[in-house]
Amino acid sequence: MVYQENEYLALSALQHILFCPRQCALIHIEQLWEENLFTAQGRVMHERVDRGDQADKGKIRVEYGLPLKSARLGITGKADVVEFHRTDSSVQKWVPFPVEYKRGKPKKDLSDKVQLCAQAMCLEEMLNTEILSGALFYGKTRRRLEVTFDEELRHKTTEAAEQLHAMVESGITPPPEYAKKCDTCSFLTLCMPKTIEKRRTVSAWLNRMVRKDIAE
């Protein structure tokens, strides 16, 4: 499928929908935003990175805040950093190597890797090239995690884009489901997953009591 530019959604939404579909809907359907310490720290980190312009280090040329888009995925955004590595082959060329900056530490899910892979797929489409890998830089560990853009990750990225478009088209915000990660989410007070969980618990208790009365 090829999307028109007026159908493009934010590239960053891919990370949101894999982290939590409800959070994604609150941001990209209901147009809500809540900031806490963690999101503020992340925003400051990205602002520092985006203030860069260009750098030339011989075999590596660095571009900051490079605009990205993909008609195939229907997304648009920008890359924190794209390093262009010059190859040593007889036909020299510059190979893009996207680098995404994150405040915390590597996640157990694929949300950060999918976001980075989407950047690579945008660059491939824009520059008619092939990108094999990129890196995630985590502020907490102060280290890069190299990511290989294999077929499995590319498939997951395409699936996430399709899921995102389907959800936004539906206009439906998924119901809350509490998980441990909710405690550090900036949307905790808006989403109120524990409140919903308590309501479900009370409802289940009432149903049990009704069934018990009927049985007696």
List, for residues 59-114, the tens digit of each pLDDT value: 899 999 999 999 999 999 999 999 999 887 656 688 999 999 998 889 889 999 99
> pLDDT above 70 covers what percent of the chain?
76
Confidence of residue 161 (pLDDT cuts 50, 70, 90): very high
More confident residue, 113 or 178: 113
Question: What's the pLDDT score for residue 206?
Answer: 46
Report if pTM > 0.85: no
Domain 5-174 is found in CATH 3.40.50.150: no
Confidence of residue 50 (pLDDT cuts 50, 70, 90): low
* Structure-model confidence comparison of residues 182 and 157, the more confident one: 157
Would you list the domain boundaries of the chain? Answer: 5-174, 175-216
The DSSP string of the chain is ----GGG-EETTHHHHHHH-HHHHHHHHTS------HHHHHHHHHHHHHHT--EEE-SSEEEEEEEEEEETTTTEEEEEEEEEEEEP-SSS--EEEEEEEEESS---SSSHHHHHHHHHHHHHHHHHT----EEEEEETTTTEEEEEE--HHHHHHHHHHHHHHHHHHHHT-PPPP---GGGGG-TTHHHH-HHHHHHHHHHHHHHHHHHHHHHH-
- The per-residue pLDDT of the chain, averaged, comes to 84
Average pLDDT over residues 14-30: 93
